[in-house]
């Protein structure tokens, strides 16, 4: 489903050149649960950004269902992000002026097909256990509830791939645990390919496969 061929990403800031990713070759199957581990600056987030269509590789090709997304123009990438990808961020990135339900529906604002989205949003709200907070503002809910909202938002357009960048990074241990459980459950019920970048060893071990990155290269790959 996902195939990376010699993917490299280089950042140039003034005179400084950083190779965030170097010759990554990787294949991820449909409905697979992958964890990306590695120290800070190893390239985990960069890899997720490339897979999520937020950035394009300097070199190499990224195939998603046999389509080379590295050749997509801005409009195609936007469409890809909206339709094929669900993103969960460490910082949640929710709109504070909108309610939980409105935040979940946010990707629908950029989608021409909105049919049945209200009902689906309500279903997701039940699924992530936020029924009593559905009309609360983001400023009125806890960190765990925020991440639940972000997960529901990532699923609103029924994506095939769910990318999570340090989803428990801003949560306490107990709340983080619950989020991990939720992600695992969603992976199974929604049949999505789940790729999580994490420092959390417990979370990493829950994945079917763990890929370790060091200095932009795959240093280790193991099946759990």
Partner 1 sequence: MLFKLTLKTIRDKKFRSILASLSITIGTASLIIFLGLANGIRTATFLEMEKSKPLTQITVRPDTSKSGMISFLAGTNKDALSDITIENISKIDGVKKIFPETQFNQFASIEAKILGFSLITDAMVFGLDKEFVLNDLKNPDSWNRTIEPYPAIIPRKLLDIYNLSIATPQGLPTLSEEGLLGKELIFYPNYSSFFPSMNKKTDEIKLEVVGFSDKVNLIGATLPSGVLNSLNEKYAPDSQKVFIELYVETETAEKTPIVAGEIEKLGLKTQYYQKDQEGVEAKFQYLTISLGAISMIILLTSAIAIISTFLATIAERTKEIGLYRALGATKTHIKKLILTEAGIIGLIGSITGIIIGILGSKIIDIYGIQQLASTTFKPETIFNIDYKLITFTLIFGTLLSILAAYIPAQKASKINPITALSK
Among positions 79, 178, 184, 209, the unique one binding partner 1 when judged by CB under 8 A: 79
Q: Does 108 bind partner 1 (CB under 8 A)?
A: yes
Closer residue to partner 1 (CB): 49 or 145: 49
Q: How many residues bind partner 1 (CB under 8 A)?
A: 28
Q: How far is the CB of 177 from partner 1 (least distance, A)?
A: 26
d(CA 119, CA 191): 20
Query: What six digits make up the tokens of 193?
Result: 């390919």
CA distances from 31 to 10, 78, 153, 188 (A): 30, 23, 19, 8
The helix (H) or strand (E) run that includes residue 83 is helix 74-83
Q: Does 109 bind partner 1 (CB under 8 A)?
A: yes
Closer residue to partner 1 (CB): 74 or 119: 74
Among positions 8, 58, 111, 170, the unique one binding partner 1 when judged by CB under 8 A: 111
The helix (H) or strand (E) run that includes residue 104 is helix 100-105
Q: How far is the CB of 109 from partner 1 (least distance, A)?
A: 4
| Choices 61-69, 73-81, 130-138, 190-198; region in contact with partner 1 by CB under 8 A | 73-81
Nearest to 182 by CA among 199, 201, 162: 162
Q: Does 30 bind partner 1 (CB under 8 A)?
A: no
Nearest to 194 by CA among 181, 205, 208: 208
DSSP, collapsed to helix, strand or coil, labels residue 49 as helix
Give the residues lining the site for partner 1 (CB under 8 A). 49, 52, 54-55, 74-75, 78-79, 81-83, 87, 89, 91, 93, 95, 97-98, 102, 106-111, 114, 153, 157
């Amino acid at each position: 489903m996902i195939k990376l061929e010699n993917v490299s990403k280089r950042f140039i800031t003034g005179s400084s050149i950083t190779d965030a990713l170097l010759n990554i070759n990787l294949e991820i199957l449909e409905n697979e649960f992958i964890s990306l581990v590695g120290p800070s600056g190893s390239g985990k987030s960069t890899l997720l950004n490339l897979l999520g269509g937020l950035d394009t590789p300097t070199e190499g090709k990224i195939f998603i269902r046999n389509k080379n997304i590295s050749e997509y123009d801005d409009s195609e990438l936007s469409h890809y992000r909206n339709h094929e990808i669900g993103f969960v961020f460490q910082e949640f990135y929710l709109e504070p002026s909108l309610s939980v339900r409105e935040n979940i529906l946010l990707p629908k604002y950029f989608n021409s097909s909105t049919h049945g989205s209200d009902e689906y949003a309500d279903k997701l709200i039940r699924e992530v256990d936020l029924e009593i907070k559905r009309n609360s503002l983001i400023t009125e809910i806890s960190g765990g509830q925020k991440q639940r909202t972000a997960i529901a938002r990532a699923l609103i357009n029924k994506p095939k791939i769910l990318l999570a960048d340090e989803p428990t990074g801003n949560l306490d241990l107990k709340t983080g645990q619950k989020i991990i459980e939720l992600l695992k459950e969603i992976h199974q019920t929604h049949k999505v390919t789940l790729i999580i970048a994490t420092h959390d060893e417990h979370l990493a071990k829950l994945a079917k496969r763990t890929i370790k990155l060091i200095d932009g290269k795959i240093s280790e790959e193991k099946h759990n």
